[in-house]
Structure 1
């Protein structure tokens, strides 16, 4: 690392930061419980994950994965249908693995947070009332009893790396827990609805598409305030607000 010419800031806000130094990613997190979860989840996961090089709180050093991200929210994905199917297959392998010992959020917790975020969006004039109301109705289908699985918890398209048609690894495991399988699939395909068929084909099990759509609405409603407050733009083309508009 002594010969590295530059340090790249991958993401930075008041909760955490990720830097790239050559082939090493340095993750700095104010909450070490998230890092504890990330390290333990990667050790348990039956799919490729980054190698942990060292950990000196608050810093976690991870080796870079080969390949490139499967896609980006708001941009068309250039990955092949086979690569998306491989992502679905890797997700199924994770979901079939033994559960992590820590629970995820309960349905009551999610519903309560959803109500609070919807109220904030309307009260502050961030989104029209009818857009929020309609998507809150769509989101209701996600709040149903389900059998928990080993869920990644934040399986964004940028967190899945591919080389050609092969999955080389999955990053950012700090939200991993016992959770809803369809939430992972919805997060992976958020803003890439045209790729859902490939993912489901690779997943190889029955998937309730209405619940996937419900999770698209629910996740988008939940994250808009956080994104705005951390200088991200959910109003960018193809991003969270467009996902909500597509449900009308």
Structure 2
């Protein structure tokens, strides 16, 4: 992955250019947080620079952070295609495929934060994340089998489990990509949540499933913090559905869904 350049951009708009140069002036390294064909995120000192080819995602992210009733990063400036965000205090709740060192209280705090989000006023748009689920699932399962990416029985079983997720739901303010690496915690308190580009009206249990994907051992903590009855079968259905939908995209964008504890292991656990 390219680590980018530390040179200052041309100054048709001099204010952002000065800010970029000042941001880079006293740092020794530009860290690539994530990068693929659609978007990239760089960390420069205490600033995150998000570069997205689709500015509608950035527009959703900016508006969602303004509406969210939970902590989000401070927006420092925006100069399309770049959005600059201040770093959040604390550390991530965990990462998929790794053992989380966060306490049970931190996981419960994450559940409580998600509940505050879901109880907040609805944004005026629907999340794109849940559009066309049934047809997308059919396409991905056919591809997984046709290309020998997964055993037929593994795909078939998880396709059956996933059916439970595709039911009517009451819309909530859904984050839409609530991976644990997007949740920051310090002293068992949530200091902020990142990456709101998939936010909108959606299914509460989708967020809870994303948060606990690959970390089933902390599901009880999250549910306790969330503070209401949860249909655990639907959570498990979302684990299967999200994993089946993600595998081809991950493989095509340089990620490994077969890494220990990641999507393919999640599917195997349903067997």
Fold match (TM-score > 0.5): yes
Deviates more, 1:1-10 or 1:190-199: 1-10
Q: CA offset at residue 37 of structure 1? A: 0.2
Q: Residue 88 of structure 1 aligns with which residue?
A: 111
| TM-aligned CA distance change 1:49 to 1:70, over 3 Å | same
Structure 1 position 110 matched with structure 2 position 147: no
Structure 1 position 152 matched with structure 2 position 175: yes
Instruction: Spell out the pairing of 1:186-225 with structure 2 (5 A cutoff).
Output: 186-225=209-248
Give the whole-Å Cα distance in 2 for the aligned partners of 1:10 and 1:104: 24
Structure 2 residue matching 1:78: 3-state secondary structure: coil
Give the whole-Å Cα distance in 1 for the aligned partners of 2:142 and 2:127: 24
Give the whole-Å Cα distance in 1 for the aligned partners of 2:171 and 2:74: 27
| TM-aligned CA distance change 1:141 to 1:191, over 3 Å | same
73, 76, 97: which one pairs with 2:99?
A: 76
Residues 5-30 of structure 1: per-residue CA shift (max 9 Å, x gap): 11001111110000000000000000
Residues 119-172 of structure 1: per-residue CA shift (max 9 Å, x gap): 111111100111000000000000000101000000001000001201000000
Q: Residue 50 of structure 2 aligns with which residue?
A: 27
Q: CA offset at residue 106 of structure 1? A: 8.6
Give the whole-Å Cα distance in 2 for the aligned partners of 1:86 and 1:103: 26
RMSD: 1.0
Runs (4+) off by over 4 Å: 105-108
8 Å contact kept, 1:148–1:178: yes
Q: Residue 185 of structure 1 aligns with which residue?
A: 208
> Highest relative contact order (Cα 8 Å, sep 6+), 1 or 2?
1
Give the whole-Å Cα distance in 2 for the aligned partners of 1:222 and 1:166: 32
| TM-aligned CA distance change 1:106 to 1:187, over 3 Å | closer
Structure 1 position 134 matched with structure 2 position 162: no
Larger gyration radius, structure 1 or structure 2: 2
Structure 1: tracts of 5 or more residues without a match: none
Q: CA offset at residue 104 of structure 1? A: 2.5
Give the whole-Å Cα distance in 1 for the aligned partners of 2:171 and 2:256: 32
